[in-house]
Structure 1
Amino acid sequence: MFLDVTMRRNPNLMKAAFELHQEGKISPDTYVLDLDAIIINAKKIKSEADNYGVKLYFMTKQFGRNPYVANELMKLGYDGAVAVDFREAEALGEAGVKLGHVGHLVQIPSNRIEGILMKRPEVITVYSYEKARDISKAARRLGINQKLMLRVLDYNDILYPAQYGGFYLEILEQEAGRIMELPNIGIHGITSFPCFLYDEESRQIKETRNINTVLKAKDILEKKLSIKLGQVNLPSATCVSSIKEIAKFGGTHGEPGHGLLGTTPFHAAKDEEEIPAVVYVSEVSHNLDNHGYIYGGGHYRRSHMKEALIGSSFEASNKFTLSEMDSQSIDYYLTFNGNSKIGSTAVLAFRTQIFVTRSEVAVIKGVKAGKPELIGIYSSLGKSIRRDAKWAGL
């Protein structure tokens, strides 16, 4: 999906990926993160957000909850991380990363609430009165006050499978009223997901109908219950080009994830401010008949893997078409059309969700200057495997 774009806009990352694998510094089934490019992208998004008065929580699941990258983003003035599930909140908190937004997309389990509250997240999203009550009880035991955000929805909203939940508009006033009576918590904001999506026909990032629901919810809470909302969080596809749209609809917060990597669908179609900052590295395992096989482990069903560069170096590589993955099978191998030398490096670029893979993650810096340095190797969930493994530049 992003191979040609990455070859053209960040060839040094491709070169470094080949070199890392050929020298045995990284294993097959490793994502390589270009820290320089991520920081450049993050600065551009932050600068645009500052211009429009939009605050940002950065998302880490796409790049494997990586603590090194997360802490580098905090140095740029981001308002904290958005943790999409409780394990991510715990991992980032343990790494010293400020928690901005937790509980969305995954609610905090009841017996983990107190531990996460002790990490002092800025805001927690809830889908029900019962979850708000649990947070209230835990906050009261700890002697703290916690800000809540309500996820709102209507019957015609766009929701992804396995992500259903929230307060329907028709019961919002009643349920919010009940929550307001609970001690040690307060309703601080509202959110939905997705609020923006890439539109292939117009080749632009456009608002979804969910935004109308958010705006209706804002009126209900502010006009009927006199709640002064501090956040109108409008996530999805947050990047330089969408910041002005967030502001246009009254949004106060965005949550860049793929935008930091330059890998939203928008970036596959157009050259935008952000550049590609991640590639996937593997190795040819064997050939059989007219197909070759590379080690897998990093497949994500919406990845749109299409092609791979295979060879002994970036300059000596050839492009091969990948066979479409069967969603019913485990990706022990990825199949390409044709044959190649066993042990050759394969470099791919596609849409990532590293945290759902069994891959490793290599963080490198110095790519832009053509002097790449391996900072460390991590698991797909952000655990350090090997740090300070330095190697000679290209």
Structure 2
Amino acid sequence: MFLELTKRRNPKLIEAASQLHKQGLILPDTYVLDLDMITHNAKVMKEKADKYKLELFYMTKQFGRNPLVSRKIVEAGISHAVVVDFKEALIMMEHNLPIGNVGHLVQVPKNMLERIIAYGPKFITVFSNEMLNNINTVAQKLNKVQQVLIKVVEPTDEIYEGQFGGYHLEDLEELIAIAKKLDNIKIAGITSFPCFLFDGEKELKPTNNVKTINTARNIFKKHGIEVQELNIPSATCCTTIPLIKGIQGTQGEPGHALTGTTPLHAKLDLEELPSMVYVSEISHSLDGHSYFYGGGYYRRGHLENILVIDKDENYSKDTVAPFGNESIDYYLESNKVHPVGSTVIAAFRTQVFVTRSDVAVVSGISSGTPKLEGIYNSLGNLIRR
């Protein structure tokens, strides 16, 4: 999906990744992150967000919850993370990285609430009255007032399977009545997901979720609650920041844009540059096809093309045979035969945290002096420096 883009806009990343593999410094099934380029992407988004007076929370699940990369993003100016689940929150907390929003896609388990609230996230996203009451109880114990974002959802909204949760508009009056009796929570804003979807050509368009957010805001206003935040996530990048502001959003959550790999980046040359490739190795051949080591396959990743580099630095392009979702990606199949041991480079849409891949963080690529800063597992734990 992003291989040609990476060859054209960040060829040194491909060269560095290939050399690290040939030198035995990284194994097959490794994502290589260009630390300097990710930092660049974070800076340009922060500058654009500041221009539009928009707050950004960075998301790390796409590149494996990596704490080293997260620290660099914070240094670039995006100070707080949005964590997709409570396990990602633990990684951020372990490394003393500030959390902006927790609970949006996965609610915080009851027995973790005290630890999370004590750590001090800016916002906790809430799906239910039970969660609201639990947060209030814990915040009262800790002598805090916790800001919450209310997730809203209607049957006409876009929702991905496995992500159902939130308040219907007809339930908000009951929520408001309960919230007004709670002294240790503050309804600070409203959210939903996804708020933008790519049209497959050149545009990201608002979903019906945005209409639901705006209707919810009016309901809160009618009952005397002026929400300050409209959290508008999905495909946040320099291009969508003005769109978020245009629908009165106050917060965005860049994830794929940090590595220059939103669907829009596959079609247009945007301000964010490609910063991640997948590295594997030809294991064997059979019946006119070669097979390379898997482990990092993501079923929505649109993995179609690979670049194969043999020991003599000969480059050849190939395509990947379709792979069924019912199987485990022990190997992936190329449509041509290649020398065993050759390096395989791919670039596609990722969710590294759901793979069994390694993540190699490399600095100095753009200056021609690549340095392997560390190798991590897909959940952000250091394997070796």
Counterpart residue number, 2:211? 212
- Deviations for 1:343-384, whole angstroms, at most 9, x for unmatched residues? 111010000100000000000011111111110000100001
- Distance (Å, rounded) in 1 between the aligned partners of 2:42 and 2:311: 29
SS across alignment from 1:5: helix
Deviation (angstroms), 1:314? 9.7
Deviation (angstroms), 1:180? 2.6
SS across alignment from 2:152: strand
Letter of the 1:146 counterpart: Q
- Superposed CA RMSD in Å reads 1.1
- Deviations for 1:204-234, whole angstroms, at most 9, x for unmatched residues? 1111111011011111112x22112221100
Q: Is the 8 A contact 1:263 1:276 kept in 2?
A: yes
Map 1:227-306; keep pairs closer than 5 Å.
Answer: 227-306=225-304
Q: Which of 360, 363, 380 is the aligned partner of 1:362? A: 360
SS across alignment from 1:188: strand
Deviation (angstroms), 1:315? 5.0
Letter of the 1:72 counterpart: K
Deviation (angstroms), 1:114? 1.0
Letter of the 1:116 counterpart: I
Give TM-score scaled by structure 2 length. 0.98
- Distance (Å, rounded) in 2 between the aligned partners of 1:135 and 1:377: 37
Q: Which runs of 4+ in 1 moved over 2 A?
A: 312-315
Counterpart residue number, 1:163? 163
- Distance (Å, rounded) in 1 between the aligned partners of 2:254 and 2:311: 32
Residue 130 of structure 2 corresponds to residue 130 of structure 1: yes
- Deviations for 1:256-293, whole angstroms, at most 9, x for unmatched residues? 00011110110001111111100000111100111111
- Deviations for 1:90-114, whole angstroms, at most 9, x for unmatched residues? 1111111101000011001111111
Number of aligned pairs?
385
Letter of the 1:46 counterpart: K
Q: Is the 8 A contact 2:302 2:348 kept in 1?
A: yes
CA 183–323 in structure 1, closer or farther in 2 if over 3 Å, else same: same
SS across alignment from 2:149: strand
Letter of the 2:207 counterpart: T
Residue 153 of structure 2 corresponds to residue 145 of structure 1: no
Deviation (angstroms), 1:297? 0.4
Letter of the 1:59 counterpart: M
- Distance (Å, rounded) in 1 between the aligned partners of 2:190 and 2:348: 32
Deviation (angstroms), 1:146? 0.7
Letter of the 1:206 counterpart: K
- Distance (Å, rounded) in 2 between the aligned partners of 1:293 and 1:43: 39
Residue 44 of structure 2 corresponds to residue 44 of structure 1: yes
Residue 81 of structure 2 corresponds to residue 81 of structure 1: yes
Residue 318 of structure 2 corresponds to residue 320 of structure 1: yes
Q: Which of 172-181 and 325-334 deviates more?
A: 172-181
Counterpart residue number, 1:10? 10
Counterpart residue number, 2:65? 65
- Deviations for 1:54-75, whole angstroms, at most 9, x for unmatched residues? 0100000001000001011111
Letter of the 1:221 counterpart: F
CA 190–79 in structure 1, closer or farther in 2 if over 3 Å, else same: farther
SS across alignment from 1:239: coil
Q: Which of 91-100 and 315-324 deviates more?
A: 315-324
Q: Is the 8 A contact 1:19 1:313 kept in 2?
A: no
Letter of the 2:48 counterpart: E
- Distance (Å, rounded) in 2 between the aligned partners of 1:46 and 1:75: 11
Counterpart residue number, 1:391? none
Counterpart residue number, 2:96? 96
Q: Which of 137-146 and 277-286 deviates more?
A: 137-146
Deviation (angstroms), 1:302? 0.3
Q: Which of 374, 377, 380 is the aligned partner of 1:379? A: 377
Letter of the 1:311 counterpart: I
Deviation (angstroms), 1:183? 2.9
- Distance (Å, rounded) in 1 between the aligned partners of 2:157 and 2:79: 28
- Distance (Å, rounded) in 2 between the aligned partners of 1:154 and 1:255: 22
Counterpart residue number, 2:193? 193
Q: Is the 8 A contact 2:310 2:339 kept in 1?
A: no
- Distance (Å, rounded) in 1 between the aligned partners of 2:238 and 2:312: 30
Residue 220 of structure 2 corresponds to residue 221 of structure 1: yes
Deviation (angstroms), 1:313? 6.5
Q: Is the 8 A contact 2:42 2:77 kept in 1?
A: no
SS across alignment from 1:19: helix
